[in-house]
Amino acid sequence: MRARLAEMIEIALRGGREVMRVYEEGGAVERKADGSPVTEADICCEAVILEGLRRSAPDIPVVAEEAAATGLVPATCELFFLVDPLDGTREFINRNGEFTVNIALIENGEPVAGVVYAPALGLLYAGAPHEGACKAWVSTGGVPGPSQRIHVREAPEAIVAIGSRSHGSPQTIGWLQRFDIERFTSLGSSLKFCLIAEGAADVYPRLGRTMEWDTAAGDAILRAADGMVATLDGAPLTYGKRGQSDDCDFANPWFVAWGDPGLRRRAPSARRAGA
């Protein structure tokens, strides 16, 4: 798994170079069938990642966001990749730097390796549940520096909550009222999972729609840092969901990303809600 994770990091770095090329040059924004934005960076980065994964792991299927949007979805088995070439496209368009390149490896419904790379911020996160999680700064030339181990923190009495910059909801604010909140931070893309993984935040409730490629890489990193992502009934979030009667393939239910396991047991109302 360590070698596989190293390959995924290298491929994410190459994809990030494509993202930054478009970011610096500018480019048109189009709309997909569901109304969500897509840019040249999404397309070019995904092409680089798909080629890299084909070379490094030709026998493992890849489910990638932009290909899936056009109906190109391979058959999946116990082992497959999930790719979001530009998580946080709205952040990319708004030029705030809070966008990421996400690659995850799924095995038997669980994220077993993940890479989240924020090229504009020069930040790389990676992790696998049996290898631990790490963070590294990346130079402007795309070369990662020394990595440091990261881990969730023990939650204080007044916690730091984190939420989506572009996809907040009244349900999320209501859910958080069960806790004593020191600070609420808005952030784009999978960086929310990573901040919990490195102990800079404690909880991220997402009471809104997401797809598996949005969450898998950050979920893998958070699990590797001893956190977890659970549905509102308390079950771990799973991957490879196809043939769902109430939603499309690969759609996620509402979930909560947790740091300290003790935080989930702190509020009786949270337990009653299954979270």
Tens-digit pLDDT string for the chain (275 aa) = 789 999 999 999 999 999 999 999 876 677 776 667 788 999 999 999 999 999 999 999 999 999 999 999 998 889 999 999 999 988 998 999 999 999 999 999 999 999 999 999 999 999 998 899 999 999 988 899 999 999 999 999 999 999 886 666 788 888 898 899 999 999 989 999 999 999 999 999 999 889 999 999 999 999 999 999 999 999 999 999 999 998 999 999 999 999 999 998 775 544 444 44
Structural domains of the chain, with CATH:
2-150 (3.30.540.10), 159-272 (3.40.190.80)
Residue 235 is classified by DSSP as P
The whole-angstrom separation of Cα 223 and Cα 193 is: 10
Q: State the binding site for Mg(2+).
A: 65, 84, 86-87, 214
The whole-angstrom separation of Cα 21 and Cα 231 is: 37
- Output the pTM of the full model: 0.93
Q: State the binding site.
A: 65, 84, 86-89, 214
The whole-angstrom separation of Cα 268 and Cα 265 is: 7
Q: State the binding site for substrate.
A: 65, 86-89, 214
